[in-house]
Structure 1
């Protein structure tokens, strides 16, 4: 078995896709198990090539009762905690960044200044496994009755400093609606208040607020069949990249050179005004606050004029039952 740790969020899984696919190609006859949060299972199905999902949320104890895996791969972080988590299951070999504190001298050195996609491709290359940094496309699910051709406005983000002000999202949404876009506002259940505020200020109907009404699989489906995505530096932006859906992404504390769409992809723009003082960590980050509505609308005009999204394969909606069964027998 090949055991792969990536127990993080949507963007983290999306940026790890080239590395996961490289491992699948390098070990075609081995079972590949991914350690990740259960709620990511619809997205794991859209990656393809993963045989089993083993539930873990963060770096707590990993339930393990089977024989030691042949290989464990740390796609989670630099260690030592993630290294220790994998070492406890007794793999014959560990692929990871070198970390003296974890007692792991093998592997390349961690670099803070590289794109998240390139980081894991470089680590695997050190171990002789080539990975294609451009292999980011997810399987496109069928629409399944969800609206298609919508413009997705996603105002939420996990950290307050990465949230562009709702009044500005609303101004953009109103302009898009005036231009004939069918705008929907997405988010998780905790972001429904922000989404409702954006929709109200933009003059959108109540049914345009989809925050809290879609699960992860449905959100991926919306993005896969969308006309446009506007969001901050969060997971929805990575879904837009994966589906070649035109997108404008707004960055603040973290530069897009680390987490934005890889270069050379028409139809995706990451807006960032450059390094700024860090701010207080509570209010919107100064770099994000400097982005104004006209700049965002201009970028939207550019990406919507870019080439049409490439055709991607279609598969049925993910089956939650498959993962529920797999997770019971690690």
Structure 2
């Protein structure tokens, strides 16, 4: 059994480097003092960085890793170096039971490959999926999966994603019966691929699951807050995620341009500044950071590569919450229940 009080952090991963990762760990410690950290990476550099974070003097262990996975490294090449890299050794801490979860801001493809090889998929899961919370206009965020781990899927994979996503939503958003929908090109029953329609039929035939299946949803409804979980293949999900992030940046840049176009506009900006700040905070990916690899025998979380210390702290917070809620056990129980009822 993994020690839930420890979180393994790949201190060397991500675009912003060691300083931001350590600052994020320090911020997470301030929020949740009970957390302890295994910091994996260049030991000399980490210990030098810790000199600037006296609040991390206790409850921290450093694990030396001589190498780092680069952002453009192929998954196969990364796998061969897993035992000497900060990412690989952080994931190994979960495998060995030294940590309840591992967090890295490094190469997503390499991370997926390493996590799957080290932790294996849990019984009843053919493929793990990458899930994240995205902002909506509703009271809750929405869980979207898969976001890139599987570019092509079968109907049974989509059903498994739905079960895992619903379990995640129940933990992350404290929901009894999350509203689950399949991403599709239309809301009509005859729309979409055979895999999507077959998955919908299987979910409709499983009212015993702790979720409410809401049918299909189109891409323009992702952020409306009408659903709690949206399920898709990794190809579609990754495009949807990048489109949403690009749209958020577009809106922010458009507002900035509009508010600086004239003296009158600048005055208008000063008047509306609280509202625009609220919008900026809502769209900031750092406030929704922490994508989870679901379906593995252990918890691994992906932080956005360009995350700030706030984003890193939020990813660690998600990891801690998932460990405390024993998410993997909940997913396994739901899968067993689904298979028993479907038999």
TM-score under structure 2 length normalisation = 0.29
Higher helix share: 2
Structure of greater relative contact order (alpha carbons < 8 Å, 6+ residues apart): 2
